[in-house]
Structure 1
Amino acid sequence: MSISTQINFCILTILIFSFPFYGESQTSSINPERSILLDLKKHFSNPPNISHWKSSSDHCTWPEITCRDGIVTGIQLVWLLISDTIPPFICHLKNLTFLDLNHNYIPGSFPTLLYNCSNLEYLDLSFNNFSGIIPDDISRLSPHLEVFNLSSNWFVGRIPAGISGLKGLKELQLAGVVSNGSFPSEIGNLPNLEVLVLSQNSFTPQEIPPSFTQLKKLRNLSINQANLIGEIPANISNMTALEFLDLSVNNISGSIPVGLGRLPALRDVCLYTNNLSGEIPMVFGQFSKLNTFDVSTNHLTGSLPEGLCSNKVLSSLIVFNNNLTGQLPKSLEDCNTLKGVRVERNNLSGTIPEGLWTARNLNRLLMNNNQFTGQLPQKVASNLSLVDISNNRFSGEIPTGISSWSNLGVFRASNNLFTGNIPQQLTALRFLSTLLLDRNRLSGNFVSNITSWKSLDTLNCSRNQLSGNIPPELGLLPNLVQLDLSENQFSGEIPSEIGRLRLSALNLSSNHLSGKIPEELEVAAFNKSFLNNPNLCADTPSLHLRDCKSNNKSSGEVSVKLIAILGTIGVFLLLVAILYIWYSFRSHRKRKKKRLVPNWKLTAFHTISFTESNILPNLAENNVVGTGGSGIVYVVPIGKSSGENVAVKRIWNSQKLDEKLEKEFIAEVETLGTIRHTNIVKLLCCISSEESKLLVYEYMENHSLDLWLHPKRRSAGNSGSFQRQLILDWPKRIRVAIGTAKGLCYMHHNCSPPIVHRDVKSSNILLDSEFNAKIADFGLARMLNKHGQPNIVSAVAGSFGYIAPEYAHTRKVNQKTDVYSFGVILLELATGRGPTDGDDDRSLADWARYHFQEGNPIEDALDETIKEPKYLDEMRSMFRLGILCAATNPSERPTMREVVHILVHCSNKLLPDRNRISRSKSEASSLLKAFKGGDNGLMPFHEV
């Protein structure tokens, strides 16, 4: 080898080994693809969940990476809160076939740089913050692309016809993608398409294109909540592979085509909430293994198809809110696969097939508001947890065999023709939470030995002929919050135990009760609870009962009073003497202490431009802006020229902080001192002395959310100089909801250990000059030692109306406790009502839940001061989400991470259905159940 050749070889070697590969350390020891991945990690701001991506480890072992023969073929980075754009060098991974970035915050326009990923077969960019238009040349994506999911982003305009150029597509999901646009009929030219989802889009009114019926391989067609009009195409019978059809929540009219019922693969039919009319074709269930049949909330007439369960796989039958007549189909007699039956609010009649009651998988049976007759069975399915037969014509006695209905949690049997006694066997139902037997013909004494009803929260037996005494055991039920025994024949005194209940609603009116009502019930909230009981008395005039004192005078009363007065005078003189001695001693100590200069200590958590000397002189009465249970809040100017202010919370005691306040102070400092989040109020520093402790926060110009939502609640003592006549409009309310949710999400999911606030309420949500929300007042916060596991506290703390039921009864707190409180805030934002402003003495959460379950229009519950047509969808969504977050059962509430995604991605869209929330994580299960009417005790959201 010549010298020149050797020199060239050396130079080439130097160039090769010094070339900067993508990676944390530009060395020859790092695999080039690993270097690209490490640069990707760095570009995405090093998400903590992929901290295991290190140059020293094999990238093919990382769970987010898929390799084939040591070559990277797949990347899955989901739910990581990524907020950076996709870098172009991701396509340097030439063999990349799978890319999943769903559920992040990736911004920017559609990433056309992915056109260079020429081997992609799977691309999921759903649930991000992409915006702008979907480009016309989108067909330049990989010709091998089979799965493309762009759902839940912020694009505008139409879906381009160019998408039909992706001929290899088998799955196309475009749910919640565009607003005020349209979808192209050319989608019908994708010959291999098996899944098509166009749901949750605010399309201009548009019919289902006839070309869609050319999709012979299509198994799933979902175009719900998409402003569809017209009729279902008659030649839909050509779509012989169709298994799942969801056209719900649209304005589709006309009748259901018979051909739809003849499709051989059809399993799930969702046509609810449309304008469909006519009779349901009798062929449904005869030609396919029908699993779900939901045509609720239409204008359908006639009877139900007899063969709905002919193939014995029917799981859900949902037909409520129609004008159906006739009896239930005979095929339901031995349909053991049934899990839920909802036929309420029709004109159905006849008796219930005996086999339906005992279908082994049956969980929910709602038949209320029909004309059904007959008697209740002795035995039902062991899984049955909810039965609603209210407003029918069931008769006879409640069977003693009801003790075998072992998993029953909700039993609504109002307004029927039941007679006889309430059977003692009913007390065997230990999971019973709601029992409604009002408006029947029941008689006899109320059942005894009811302490087994540990879960009972609602009991209504009004408008019957029950007699005897009210059992004292009712007052021992730990969860009972609503009690109605009105319009019966009860007599005797009201048991004192009833006063121990934490009731939100009580009605004992129109009975034969006597004596004095328990002292705890003598409150204005119960001023209509005891009417029409002539022999009852009370000491409180507002209860509209006779004064107990007027009938208690006796000959010895004067002497007793005189003794009491003399005794009081003696005690008073003794107290005066004690106070005089104490005051002299205290004055002496004060004079001594005044000679000492307080020793103030300042601990800063941020860079600050002031000292305690700027703060202390301004803690004057004219600077007070608020008071609370643990201190006074001042606004203090710290820069005369800049006009900058800070908020100072003073926790003070003339002697020494008591143990409770000391704990609150320590908790707030420890929590806030370490938090850095734009939606959590910034604790600048703390200033402490032996007698006083000060917390110095950033100042929030627009004060607290409750002062905007509930101006009538303001008082001079807590509003300071804050006086406005402005109304918090809907866009600002959306901003507040999202900001608050993000703050709680950070506390629950990004802090280690996670933080539970325990006192989330509108007065603890502060607003800056731009109406950005920040969570404040962490005096009650708790750091959870184990993620997701409850932490038992020594006493219930919080504010009435916001306290989750399980917290009030068990003192167990976890993240779901805060979710409940946040749900109340959402309901406040949507309705304008306060947390305790529900009708009939209910809390807002209980009232909203009842309003929804009764089928009342959501519009009637919304805040009239800001209700505009263009905001109605968003306001309805927030109302529904508020109900879901404030679910009675904690397991049915979503996580704050899920709530953030719903609010961010749906502020201009309706709430997502199961196709929009296409996730694999188990934490989403409760949310999906609620959105699609799962077993959560709530009626499904599609009802209204």
Structure 2
Amino acid sequence: MTKTSLQFSFYTILFLLLFSQANSQLINEQEQAILLNLKKHWKNPQPLSQWTSSNSSHCTWPNITCNTDGSVTGISLQNMNITGTVPPFICDLKNLTTLDLSFNYMTSNGFPTALYNCSKLQYLDLSQNYFAGTVPNDIHQMARLRQLNIGANSFSGNIPPSIGRLTELRILQLFLIQFNGSFPPEIGNLSNLEVLELGAMTNITTTLPSEFTKLRKLKYLWVASSNLVGKIPDSIGEMAALEHLDLSMNNLSGNIPSGLFMLKNLSIVYLYKNKLSGEIPRVVEALNIDVLDLSENSLTGSIPDDFGRLTKLSGLSLYSNQLSGKIPDSIGRLPGLINFKLFNNKFSGTLSQDFGRYSMLELFQVASNYGLIGELPKHLGDNGRLLRVAAFDNNLNGELPKSLGNCNNLTFLDVHNNRFFGNVPSGLWTLLHLGILILSHNSFTGELPERLPRNLSRLEMSHNRFSGEISAGVSSAKNLVFLDASNNLLNGVIPQELTALPHLTTLLLDRNRLSGSLPSNILSWKSLNVLNLSRNAISGQIPEKFGSLPVLTVLDVSENQLFGEIPPELGLLTLNSLNLSSNHLTGRIPSAFENGAYANSFLNNTRLCANSPSLNIAKCDSKPQNSSKTLSKLVPWILGFVIPAALLGLVASFLVIRIYRKRKHGLDLTWELTSFQMLNFRESDILPGLTDNNVIGSGGSGKVYRVAINSSLKIVAVKKIWNNKRQEEKLEKEFLAEVKTLGSIRHFNIVNLLCCISSTHNSKLLVYEYLENRSLDLWLHGKSTTRASTGSGSVQHVVLDWPKRLQIAVGAARGLSYMHHDCSPPIVHRDVKSSNILLDYEFNAKIADFGLAKMLMKEGESATMSAFAGSFGYIAPEYAHTTRVSEKSDVYSFGVILLELATGRKACDGDENTSLAEWAWRRFQEGGPLVDALDEEVKELRYLDEMCCVFQLGIICTGILPSTRPSMKEVLKILLRWNQPPVFGEQNTAGE
């Protein structure tokens, strides 16, 4: 090569290099300008504050990925609080392959088809936004897509069949979208697909297309809660790569295909809450199964013996089926077993003694099988990892395994209604975290320990043979709420230390051999509702301090050896049930008890007397006022005038009192009781308790009473709805129809409606279960019921900590989600607010007060009724121009509750002239630190992320447009990221 040629080549290369560098610099400048325009288009959100031209190369900006040439290949802006649309010029980034805009507030009217111009785009995630409209049928133009995620948006219409032409797809996620129609079988053509998510599509009713089983590379299939009907295709056994299968919470029927358990890679199987029937197929090849949940179906037959070959199995849930036979012993030897839930079946025979011996068992739940016999596995607690044991309602016997005393993490043990005997393992009484211990209806013996577990809140040990004295160490259980030790052989005196439990609401020590006197220093019993010490050998007088118990409503000290007069101070109590019968009491009955409601309260006390004949005891004597001589002179006058006048006055007074009482209590009415379950009371047990002293709440439609049933120790809440005008027949039928619907609901997070009592004068009584911890509103906003008395007589606010608040949010979301998505037709609450979220003794949330009273009011009839449903601060904005209610109206109100939980503020407490929702939205828009808005009383570093997320979720739920709000199912899914659902209770202690 000549020198001239070499020089030419050198300059050519140099020119090309310089041109390339110049061109590259030009492209970089253009791409930087595009990114800055994106930032401007999205109104400069704070998370993109570092996107500035002065901040070196855009390839160093947060959330940007470049190739070696400095060209943008990826934009990941997940959870950046971005609002607005996807601009067309984003596709001017010619090498863009990845775009993640998930978890923002982006909108559009239809799928952003401008993205078609991003010719190299492979990964697109638009999930958890507010994109609406339809997905076009030409979406197959995005031919290079390997991942498409548009889940949790507001798209509607049908899933376009052309989506089956995106043959490069590996991941397709279409969950939580209001699509209708059915699943297009064309999805089965996506031969490279590995992940398919079609869950939570509540508007679709469809079968699982058999074409889906052609997806031979599919590893993950999630189609839960999507109204699937029909059978699981038999050819599902041909999906050789399948690892994770979730078809739960649908309406699938028929048998489980035998081919399913021939899949060698299968690890997770969720088929719970369907209508599957037949027997469980044998496990042939699917030996890698880790979690198998077939609960809440109609499966019959026995558990196949080859389940003992599932050596990787960690969770087995078969509860609430009709399975029978013996539980294979080999399951107890599985080395990986952690969660074992087989309650509510028909299993029989003995349990393998190897449970807990070879695995780190945490949950062991075999309750309500009735046919199970023999002993609990002696190795159950060997590894000390147990959290919950539920074995109640069986025929188990023997002693409790001593290994249970080694389980320092045990929180729940319920073995009631079996045939256990012997002593309770001593280690159980010292477990630090034990909160609920239920031993009732067995034949246990031995004495109570010197001390009870510090965190114990509920102890039920009735109907056993426990003996000895109640130790003074009982006061160690400072959190004890419920103690039932009735029908045992306990003796000695009632220790004064028992009265030092400030949270105790129920104390049942009846049918024992207790002696001595009643405790007199009872000032700490500020929460005590029910006290039953009957059928013992207690003597002495009734202390007058019993009249100072502020919330006592049930007092039973009958069949003892009490003497002396009844303290008049007892008349200060608001007693729904009083029984002092079969003692040695003397003197006059306090005037407060001289009415028919206490007719059987004083029987078999021969030296008691009363002026009222309705009490079924002797009438008190009165001394003569005049000598016989004077009396004889007055006889003619008395006979001629005084007696007739007095009789006339008595008759008139009797009629007035009777009319007043009947009007007051509704006793002149004809009542009809409509029950929704087995009841142990009648309307006559309810009516006497409807007194002003028993009122625990009131509203525009009526009052709520706390009523104790005289025939038992049961306490109920009664909502009385009174309408002075006769109801139109149509509205009356609608009301009864809705009551019947609500009466049929059985959900752990919805208050149980026991019955409805209707009168001929259009009065309604709705009788609900009573919940000890009252309403969320009282706990959050410092009402009197959430304050504990101090020694000085002052009050101290009790704070509801963040874990309990999150637990309450999840429980309330479960209840509303069930109403909106699992009831047919859906039920809209119409008045969701914190005062309608009630809490049981474990702070489980239950939705209450479904606004039924509003159906009883004609328009304009009550000044206290709004023209629309709801309460100020919780009312969705759409009520400004329409009174139509929808599920999204409930979502708005629930969002306000989330804001209350996160901030501690009231719904109407934003700032001047604004509600909490408006205040929260403005704080969010201003971009300041969210932590400054959180409740200072519970704000801890370890909870800040969760609290901020709940605050943001509250803002999303209170969006102005109903279409932008998520569904309750979506809300629940988000909340469950931070709070795991209860592992037992398995709602209602046996299933949701």
Q: Bin the TM-score by the shorter chain.
A: 0.5 to 0.7
Measure the CA separation in 1 of the matches of 2:289 and 2:174: 26
Matches within 5 A, 1:237-636: 237-282=237-282, 284=283, 286-370=285-369, 371-376=371-376, 377=378, 379-450=381-452, 453-503=453-503, 505-512=505-512, 513=514, 515-517=517-519, 519-520=522-523, 526-527=529-530, 529-530=532-533, 532=535, 535=538, 537=542, 539=544, 540=546, 543-545=554-556, 550=565
- Matched with 1:897 is 949
CA contact 1:530–1:543 (8 Å) conserved in 2: no
Partner of 1:911: 969
Partner Cα separation in structure 1 for residue 348 and residue 843 of structure 2 = 31
- State the one-letter code of the partner of 1:106: M
Q: Indicate yes or no: 2:839 matched with 1:844.
A: yes
Q: SS of the counterpart of 2:330?
A: helix
Stretch deviating more after TM superposition (43-52 or 147-156): 43-52
SS at 1:269's partner residue?
strand
Alpha-carbon distance, 1:313 to partner: 0.7
Residue 223 (structure 1) aligned with residue 223 (structure 2): yes
SS in 1 for 2:340: strand
Output one character per residue of 1:596-619: Cα deviation in whole Å (capped at 9) or x when no partner. xxxxxxxxxxxxxxxxxxxxxxxx
- Pair 1:458–1:56, CA change in 2 (3 A): farther
Q: Distance in 1 between matches of 2:944 and 2:234?
A: 40
What do the CA deviations read for 1:784-822 (whole angstroms, capped 9, x no partner)? xxxxxxxxxxxxx6764699xxxx999888755654676
Deviations 1:600-648 (A, max 9, x none): xxxxxxxxxxxxxxxxxxxxxxxxxxxxxxxxxxxxxxxxxxxxxxxxx
Alpha-carbon distance in structure 2 between the residues aligned to 1:413 and 1:901 = 40
Counterpart for residue 164 of structure 2: 164
CA contact (8 A) 1:224 1:247 kept: yes
Give the aligned partner of residue 136 of structure 1: 137
1:891 positional shift: 7.9
Question: Structure 1: how far apart are the matches of 2:273 and 2:567?
Answer: 63
Partner of 2:121: 120
Distance 1:49 1:295 in 2: 44
SS in 2 for 1:911: helix
Residues 185 and 877 (structure 1 numbering): CA distance in 2 closer, same or farther, change over 3 Å?
Answer: farther
Structure 2 letter corresponding to 1:712: K
**Inter-partner Cα distance in structure 2 for 1:62 and 1:414:** 63
Please give the residue correspondences for 1:37-76 in structure 2 after superposition, counting only pairs within 5 Å: 37-57=35-55, 58-69=57-68, 70-76=70-76
* CA-to-aligned-CA distance 1:264-284 (integer Å, 9 cap, x gap): 2222111111111111112x2
Shift of 1:162: 1.9
Which residue identity lines up with residue 844 of structure 1 in the other structure? Answer: L
SS in 2 for 1:86: coil
Q: CA deviation at 1:349?
A: 2.0
Please give the alpha-carbon distance, in whole angstroms, between the structure 1 residues aligned to 2:787 and 2:815.
11
Shift of residue 200, structure 1, vs aligned partner: 0.4
Aligned to 2:92: 92
TM-aligned CA deviation for residue 395 of structure 1: 1.4
User: Counterpart in 2 of 1:780?
Assistant: none
Q: Secondary structure at the match of 1:465?
A: coil
2-side partners of 1:188 and 1:535: how far apart?
A: 77
In 1, Cα distance between equivalents of 2:469 and 2:566 = 23
Q: How many angstroms apart in 2 are the aligned matches of 1:201 and 1:30?
A: 43
Unaligned runs of 5+ in 1: 1-26, 554-705, 715-722, 731-758, 766-776, 778-796, 852-857, 918-922
CA 1:266–1:474 in structure 2 vs 1: closer, same or farther (change >3 Å)?
same
Give 1:893 shift: 12
* 1:400-425 residue CA offsets vs partner (Å, 9 max, x unmatched): 44332233222121111111222322
**Equivalent residues of 1:710, 1:834 under 8 A apart:** no
Corresponding position of 1:623: none
**What is the SS of the residue equivalent to 1:139?**
helix
Q: Which runs of 5+ in 2 are unaligned?
A: 1-24, 548-552, 569-696, 706-722, 726-730, 739-773, 789-794, 820-828, 856-868, 870-884, 903-937, 958-962
The 3 A distance-change label for structure 1 pair 882 and 279 is: farther
1:545, distance to aligned residue in structure 2 (A):
4.7
| CA-to-aligned-CA distance 1:834-891 (integer Å, 9 cap, x gap) | 97999xxxx624478498xxxxxx9x996656899x97999899999999x9999998
Per-residue displacement from partner, 1:220-271 (whole Å, max 9, x unpaired)? 1211111111111122222122111111111111111111111222221111
**Equivalent pair of 2:500/2:522 in contact (CA under 8 Å):** no
Q: CA deviation at 1:505?
A: 3.6
Contact 1:373 1:393 in 2 (8 A): yes
Structure-1 separation of matches of 2:305 and 2:811: 44
Larger radius of gyration: 2
The one-letter code sitting in structure 1 at the alignment partner of 2:839 is L
CA contact (8 A) 1:222 1:245 kept: yes
Partner of 2:914: none
State the Cα distance separating 1:908 from its structure 2 match: 7.0
* Kept in 2: contact 1:368–1:391 (CA 8 A): yes
AA of the residue aligned to 2:427: Q
Shift of 1:457: 2.2
What one-letter code is carried by the residue in structure 1 that aligns with 2:439?
A: L
Deviates more, 1:304-313 or 1:246-255: 304-313
**C-alpha deviations, 1:685-737, integer Å up to 9, x for none?**
xxxxxxxxxxxxxxxxxxxxx987986379xxxxxxxx999x9x99xxxxxxx
Contact 1:254 1:278 in 2 (8 A): yes
Separation in 1, partners of 2:140, 2:534: 73
How far apart, CA to CA, are the structure 2 residues paired with 1:124 and 1:212?
23
Alpha-carbon distance, 1:171 to partner:
0.8
Cα distance change on mapping 1:34 and 1:533 into 2, 3 Å: farther
Q: Does 1:712 align with 2:703?
A: yes
Q: How far off is 1:936 after superposition?
A: 8.4
Query: Counterpart of 1:717?
Result: none
* Paired residue secondary structure (1:106): strand
Q: Which residue of 2 aligns with 1:34?
A: 32
Higher mean C-alpha displacement, 887-896 vs 101-110: 887-896
The letter of the residue matching 1:911 is: K
Structure 2 Cα separation of the partners of residues 243 and 523 of structure 1: 56
Cα distance in 1 between the residues matched to 2:483 and 2:323: 35
Distance of 1:111 and 1:95 partners within structure 2: 19
RMSD after superposition: 4.8
| SS of alignment partner, residue 40 of structure 1 | helix
> In 1, Cα distance between the equivalents of 2:447 and 2:80?
60
Alignment correspondent of 2:208: 208
Q: CA deviation at 1:338?
A: 1.4
Higher relative contact order (CA 8 A, sep 6+): 1
Q: CA deviation at 1:825?
A: 7.5
One-letter amino acid of the counterpart of residue 196, structure 2: L
Q: Secondary structure at the match of 2:155?
A: strand
SS in 1 for 2:437: strand
Q: CA deviation at 1:484?
A: 2.3
| C-alpha distance in 2 between matches for 1:886 and 1:305 | 47
Cα distance in 1 for residues equivalent to 2:845 and 2:775: 23
Change over 3 Å in CA distance of 1:489–1:290 after alignment to 2: same
> 1: CA distance between counterparts of 2:989 and 2:43?
38
Q: Distance in 1 between matches of 2:698 and 2:89?
A: 50
**Any conservation in 2 of the 1:100–1:124 contact (CA below 8 Å)?**
yes
Compared with structure 1, are the counterparts of its residues 813 and 234 closer, same or farther at alpha carbon in structure 2 (3 Å cutoff)? closer
One-letter amino acid of the structure 2 residue matched with residue 897 of structure 1: C
